[in-house]
Amino acid sequence: MPANTLNDMILGYAVILGILLIYVITLIIRTHKAKAQRKNALSQDRVNAINVLEDT
Amino acid sequence: MFKKPQLLVALDILCLVTFPAAVVLILFFTPVEAVMGPVQKVFYFHMSAAWVGMLSFIIAAVAGGAYLVTRRIKWDWLSIAAIEVGLVFAVIAILSGMIWARPIWNTWWVWDPRLTTTAIMVMIYFAYFILRSGLNTPETQARLGAVYAILAVATVPLTFFSIRLFRTIHPVVIATGGGGSAFNMSPRMLNALFVSLFVFTLLLADLVWHRFRLAQLQQDADQEVY
């Protein structure tokens, strides 16, 4: 008769899937932030370039 | 534009299909172990996580070596990505092992050679990020990070062979010579193990690729700002 360890198995899989899910979410959030930062930096670059052209 | 490569999209889809399939296979179509009961099913993902964690640290060391030789920043991004993802898998391996150990060894943790070397390995790789954060220029971070990744990889064989070199209560899964396996695995159990190893390797490739792209994005954004 196998030991009754069903709850331990559920806990194990909850922890494994939970950690993976949290990591994937942090990866998505960081990627979105970096994309937004890059977009802002690019638009700021354009503004600076226009200002330089207007000055000359 | 920062477009996602089609191969990465395909890998994402493959992971999204195969990962739940592996969970279903293990939970519903793999036999329950005769003594330990259902908790033994944690083993499939526990071992797979440990395997890809170690593989990831080896990739980081190779990327570190490639950076030192070529000085191309892409190798540094790969090294960072592999260490970060490897740490996630190593932590999963430790925590799932603790959950498995509690009903079987009647304790969450013992200072057994395998558990101790794994804990040391994880702490050494956490220190990699502390080291990088303490350095000023990206070049210094990349150079010293590469050296650190190469030195730190020594903990991987130490962890892997600890159960063969020292007396331990941790089971030897891949038996060599006349050692014999601690698990008397049936073909269905062995199939489930190979499936989870395959799925975790796919997941490693997918996550490392995504983390690599994040490092690239962060670098691009920083270069635009300055």
B88: nearest CB among A23, A41, A45: A23
C-alpha triplet B18, A18, A13: angle, nearest 5°: 65
Report CA-CA distances (Å) from B82 to A20, B105, B107, B212: 15, 32, 32, 8
Question: What angle do the packed helices B113-133 and B73-105 form, to 10 degrees?
Answer: 150
Q: What percent of chain B has pLDDT over 70?
A: 93
Determine how many CB atoms are found less than 10 A away from the CB of residue B222: 14
Confidence grade of residue A2 (pLDDT, cut at 50, 70, 90): confident
Mean pLDDT of chain A: 89
**How many angstroms separate the CA atoms of B149 and B214, rounded?**
20
Cross-chain residue pair B220–A19, CB shorter than 8 Å: no
The SS3 of residue B37 is: strand
Residue A2 in contact with partner chain B when CB distance is under 8 A: yes
The Cα of B126 is separated from the nearest Cα of chain A by a number of Å equal to 15
Indicate the residue type of B198. Answer: F
Residue A25 in contact with partner chain B when CB distance is under 8 A: no
Residue A4 in contact with partner chain B when CB distance is under 8 A: yes
The size of the A-B interface in CB pairs under 8 A is: 100
Locate B100 and state its tokens.
Answer: 């498995």
**How many angstroms separate the CA atoms of B130 and B34, rounded?**
45
Residue B210 in contact with partner chain A when CB distance is under 8 A: yes
In this predicted structure, the answer to whether residue B41 has a pLDDT above a threshold of 60 is yes
The pLDDT of residue B114: 93
Residue B7 in contact with partner chain A when CB distance is under 8 A: no
The pLDDT of residue B175: 62
**How many angstroms separate the CA atoms of B97 and B45, rounded?**
10
Please state the rounded mean pLDDT for residues B205-226.
87
Locate B45 and state its tokens.
Answer: 């993902």
pLDDT digits over A3-53, tens only? 899 999 999 999 999 999 999 999 999 999 999 988 888 787 778 778 887
The pLDDT of residue B168: 81
In this predicted structure, the answer to whether residue B178 has a pLDDT above a threshold of 60 is no
pLDDT digits over B135-164, tens only? 989 999 999 999 999 999 999 999 999 988
Cross-chain residue pair B41–A9, CB shorter than 8 Å: yes
Please state the rounded mean pLDDT for residues B38-60.
96
**Residue from B98, B214, B216 whose CB has the most chain A CBs within 10 Å, to mutate:** B214
Confidence grade of residue B219 (pLDDT, cut at 50, 70, 90): confident
The pLDDT of residue B182: 45
Q: Name the residue of chain B whose CA is nearest to A45's CA.
A: B224
Indicate the residue type of A18. Answer: G
Residue B96 in contact with partner chain A when CB distance is under 8 A: yes
The pLDDT of residue A54: 79
Q: Give residues 26 to 45 of A whose Cβ lies within 8 Å of B.
A: 27, 30-31, 34-35, 37-38, 41-42, 44-45
Please state the rounded mean pLDDT for residues B187-194.
92
**Residue from A16, A21, A37 whose CB has the most chain B CBs within 10 Å, to mutate:** A16
Mean pLDDT of chain B: 91
Please state the rounded mean pLDDT for residues B86-110.
96
